Amino acid sequence: PGAPATCLLCSLQELFTHYRFGNYSHLPPKEVRKVVGQVFRHMQRFQVDEMDDAAELLDALLEHCHSQAGGSPDMCQSCFVHATFGAELISRSGECQHCHQVGDYVTSFITLLHYFPAKLLIEGSMASNLRQHFESELHTCTNCTAATRQLPIRKHLCNVPPLLAFVIAWEADSVSSGSLLQLTGRIEQELTLEDLFRMSSPSPPTIYHLRGLICFYGSRTSHMGVH
């Protein structure tokens, strides 16, 4: 993978070794922070003592680990990043409520992070709100004469990723402590995969347990983990 000074995989391996076998009150991220600064120095991003978006950093870390592991857009199946985080989705047009025509739009993609706004956690069921959000995309029905007729886009999950990474985005530049407490209190400790996504084929229920949270708003970030 390269010299330790610039090997992101090596520094992450050391960090997770501390996480699994160490008896520390907190994880020592210093070496990872240094390596991240070295890796992205040419882009002037994620430098030590500078503030960056936590979600962008997580996305950049996953993409860089993907490239260090020898991954490519054509070899995602053999890349440990995509094998661990990758959600393989197929988007298909639904039925028009006016003419009942099913659209011909079909596309497939792999996503590592699932973004949603914090307001989805304030009221109602977290799982049902997320499912509605993930299926909120609409396309214009080409069969109807009225341009306002829209087709819902249904997303079908084709695999069961070992980890699901959700990123909660604040829409405001400043958030009160009361709102933060309300949000964290609304986060469910368990989520069933079939409640979040349509499955491309029948499968036994898959339950995910909360292990960590990245929450960002404006230029500030909060990080919480569950051991």
Is pLDDT larger for residue 185 or for residue 73?
A: 185
Amino acid at position 191, single letter: L
pLDDT, one tens digit per residue, over 6-54 is 677 777 787 778 777 877 766 666 767 777 888 788 888 888 777 777 7
Q: 1 falls in which pLDDT band (50, 70, 90)? A: very low
pLDDT of residue 145: 63
pLDDT of residue 178: 85
Going by DSSP bridges, is the β-strand pair 106-111/87-93 parallel, antiparallel, or unpaired? antiparallel
Taking alpha carbons only, the member of 106, 118, 109 closest to residue 86 is: 109
Work out the number of other CB atoms within 10 angstroms of the CB of residue 161: 20
In contact, 173 and 118? CB cutoff 8 Å: no
List, in sequence order, every residue forming a beta bridge with 91; answer none if it has no partner: 107, 155
pTM of the model: 0.75
Work out the number of other CB atoms within 10 angstroms of the CB of residue 30: 11
pLDDT, one tens digit per residue, over 158-171 is 999 999 988 887 77
Q: 88 falls in which pLDDT band (50, 70, 90)? A: very high
